[in-house]
Structure 1
Amino acid sequence: MSLPDVLAAAPPAVERAPIYRAGLGRSVPRGFVRIGAAIAIPDVLREFNARPEDVCARAGVPSALFDHPDNTLPMTALGRLAACGEEATRRNDFGLMVAERATASNLGLVGFLIKQAPNVGAALKDLTRYLHHTDRAAVPLLEVKGGLVMVGYSVIEPNVPALDLIYDGAIGIYYNILRGLCGPEWNARDVAISRRRPAAATRYERFFGAPVAFDAEATTIVFDARWLDAPLPHADAALRSTLREQIELIETEEAGHFSEQVRRLLRTAFLTSAISIEEMACALHVTKRTLMRRLGEEGTSFRQLSAEIQFEIARQLMEHTSMSLTQIALALKYSEASAFSRAFHQWSGMSPSDWRGRRERRPKTPAA
């Protein structure tokens, strides 16, 4: 998405709009994220002699957003801000520069919780289980297989601009969290980012200290499973119990958002292994009939949510990576590209090649 397109999506008079603050028992709204993980944006901008107030104004977000890490904004607005930051600094690695300064503490209550886990494995399970309390526009990925661990991050909110910068920042924060949990001797095996290869790709390998693959179907870090048993020396079991209690109180208040839970599980499933409606019901501890009924009460269905998630993954991969349509079809669990093309035409009214061609003909943002 070009910068003019990004800015055209900004709502008017955002500076005068109230800022919603999460934390202290208040949950992050759907499609929103806490600004804590990106709180370093003003500092990065100042390093390149760019005024944060000007960049925020151009992106259509209030500059007072950065006054408190619990303030929230829509993921689409964060994408606009990242795109404007990239233009102001003329750095394609803007997202990575912001992530360099982030730690688990930047995730707020969830970040403090994972630092109190007895070991790395428990910390990652907590992060995966509760990330939506700081970010309700994406899902975390966690898979242990063959002596390796894969952790990752996938945006589920549709039409987020500058997704390449968002993924750079997210996986950079994951890397810092893992280094913080495991210590300086920990190393990643490899890193994959769901974005086109940037001009300065070696910069990414220096940051992660591992091979980095671009044009990936998912944004992930892989490392040795032996690290899961590594104890966290400063963990406090009593504090962990208190923090989990606070998060569970918010969980109870959000129990009615059933379709959102299904969306999160579906997004994870499409990027790991396929899932049936029976398996989904089992994962949510309900019967298939209850699952169908509750989704119907929220005006949707398992089939409709599955199509929405597949459509969004397809759009992200076609716009932000150079993956072939055959590769994208396989990533979405289609046995052949023709079946994917038919489905995409039903979703969008055009073939995937036509859709991608229109996006590629748009002017690009400035390069670093």
Structure 2
Amino acid sequence: MQRVGVLVELPRVLREHGADPDQVLMEVGVAASLLSDPDNHIPMIQVCDLAACCAEATGQDGFWMKLGTEVRLHHMGVIGELMSCASNLREALADLVMLHPRYAEGGGPYLMNWGDDALLIGYRLHLPHRRGATHMARGAVSFGFHLVQQLSGATAREVLVSLPPPTDRTPYAGIFGAAKLRFGAHHFGLVYDREALQTPMQAADPAVRQGRLAAAAQWLQSQQPDLGERVMRVLVPSVLAGGISLAEASERLGTTPATLVRDLRRQGTSFRKLLNRTRFEMAGQFLLDTRMSIAEVAATLGYSEISAFNRFFAGIGGAPPAEWRAMAMQAAAPAPQP
């Protein structure tokens, strides 16, 4: 499922580009009434089909990127409220990645250290062979680019596109301005340098943030009652971007380290075990959803030796990463047409 969010603007934007929204929505089986409330949800498969249909109806391959430029803070709900009062951009991006799984299933953002002084916020879609998948990924990058500009005024240093260079780059320049475009990348995403990451949010307020963190923790618990899953959602933003301590994870969950350790023990698990599960989850997503090599995935997860990564991955996944990737890609490939 995918939260409607900025899709409430879709009918208007379609009309502005000469397309009939009722006809487009009918073609993919989406009721127009669903787009009246940002908190409604649509199956991710239908959203992918909708992205492709919008491009066809308007004759614009970059239509979903244009839709991404329409994002405003009020489209973001709980996540937007928390991001807006973060102390800096890095903290706000961690908020987005932590809470986003409650907004969408089938795709989402992740954070990853990029060189010595930069951070990548990437987007992965777990339906890579679905019609409209690349439209979705490019739209998400545009969405993130413009959301960050509104929150902090910061501009991405690089825009990564995991597609071959297009013949005409004009549509991209119209969306991303002077930001450096890098095609043929392993990721769809945005790279922000150290200076941008330290940029305070325009509405930064520590006191307000504490209240919103508590509200977000309660909302997360209501949406995802299993404690282990909630811990993993907190860990995901940080596994590839410098790690997170037990104390930091506890704060984001609205509890204390001692209470968290005790509650996890009651469930037969531990912070360390969940951290390893999170690393495995991220490794699996990179193996299946990107063109990264085994060595690159290992290095991304902090392994200096591929052999150590192979042992870690096989210990949880039951097969070495190369074998696991081959089996997973075969299972995910579309069935041949008769």
Normalising by structure 2, what TM-score?
A: 0.71
Matched position secondary structure for 1:333: helix
State whether residues 103 and 173 of structure 1, in contact with CA within 8 Å, keep that contact through their aligned partners in structure 2: no
Please tell me whether residue 333 in structure 1 is matched to residue 298 in structure 2: yes
Instruction: Kindly provide the amino acid, as one letter, of the partner of residue 217 in structure 2.
Output: E
The aligned counterpart of 2:315 is none
The aligned counterpart of 2:226 is 256
The aligned counterpart of 2:5 is 36
State whether residues 88 and 198 of structure 2, in contact with CA within 8 Å, keep that contact through their aligned partners in structure 1: yes
The aligned counterpart of 2:302 is none
The aligned counterpart of 1:194 is 162
Instruction: Kindly provide the amino acid, as one letter, of the partner of residue 140 in structure 2.
Output: A
The aligned counterpart of 1:57 is 26
The aligned counterpart of 2:148 is 178
Which of 137, 142, 147 is equivalent to 1:167?
137
Structure 1 residue 330 displacement after superposition: 3.7
Structure 1 residue 341 displacement after superposition: 5.1
The aligned counterpart of 1:343 is 324
How much identity, in percent, do the aligned residues show? 22
Instruction: Kindly provide the amino acid, as one letter, of the partner of residue 144 in structure 2.
Output: Y
Specify which structure has the bigger relative contact order, considering alpha-carbon pairs within 8 angstroms and separated by 6 or more residues.
1
Query: Which segment is superposed worse, 142-151 or 60-69?
Result: 142-151
Q: Given the superposition, is the C-alpha separation of residues 145 and 82 from structure 1 closer, same or farther in structure 2, using an over 3 Å criterion?
A: closer
Aligned residues: 306
State whether residues 149 and 225 of structure 1, in contact with CA within 8 Å, keep that contact through their aligned partners in structure 2: yes
Q: Given the superposition, is the C-alpha separation of residues 197 and 103 from structure 1 closer, same or farther in structure 2, using an over 3 Å criterion?
A: farther
Structure 1 residue 146 displacement after superposition: 5.7
Please report the RMSD computed on the Cα atoms of aligned residues, expressed in angstroms. Answer: 4.2
Q: Given the superposition, is the C-alpha separation of residues 252 and 305 from structure 1 closer, same or farther in structure 2, using an over 3 Å criterion?
A: closer
The aligned counterpart of 1:221 is 190
User: Residue by residue, what CA displacement relative to the aligned partner does 1:14-67 show, whole Å, maximum 9, x if unpaired?
Assistant: xxxxxxxxxxxxxxxxxx221113332212211232211111111122111111
Please tell me whether residue 241 in structure 1 is matched to residue 204 in structure 2: no
State whether residues 109 and 121 of structure 2, in contact with CA within 8 Å, keep that contact through their aligned partners in structure 1: yes
Structure 1 residue 210 displacement after superposition: 1.6
Structure 1 residue 215 displacement after superposition: 2.8
Superposed, 1:242-321 pairs within 5 Å as 242-253=211-222, 254-256=224-226, 258=228, 262=232, 269=239, 313-317=286-290
Normalising by structure 1, what TM-score?
A: 0.66
Instruction: Kindly provide the amino acid, as one letter, of the partner of residue 258 in structure 1.
Output: G
State whether residues 97 and 236 of structure 2, in contact with CA within 8 Å, keep that contact through their aligned partners in structure 1: no
Q: Structure 2 regions of 5+ residues with no counterpart?
A: 251-256, 300-305, 308-319
CA–CA distance in structure 2, aligned partners of residues 131 and 113 of structure 1 = 12
CA–CA distance in structure 2, aligned partners of residues 294 and 307 of structure 1 = 19
Instruction: Kindly provide the amino acid, as one letter, of the partner of residue 133 in structure 2.
Output: L
Q: Structure 1 regions of 5+ residues with no counterpart?
A: 1-31, 296-300, 318-322, 363-368
Structure 1 residue 111 displacement after superposition: 0.8
CA–CA distance in structure 1, aligned partners of residues 237 and 143 of structure 2 = 20
Q: Given the superposition, is the C-alpha separation of residues 348 and 171 from structure 1 closer, same or farther in structure 2, using an over 3 Å criterion?
A: closer
Q: Given the superposition, is the C-alpha separation of residues 169 and 264 from structure 1 closer, same or farther in structure 2, using an over 3 Å criterion?
A: farther
CA–CA distance in structure 2, aligned partners of residues 346 and 304 of structure 1 = 20
CA–CA distance in structure 2, aligned partners of residues 308 and 226 of structure 1 = 30
Structure 1 residue 221 displacement after superposition: 1.4
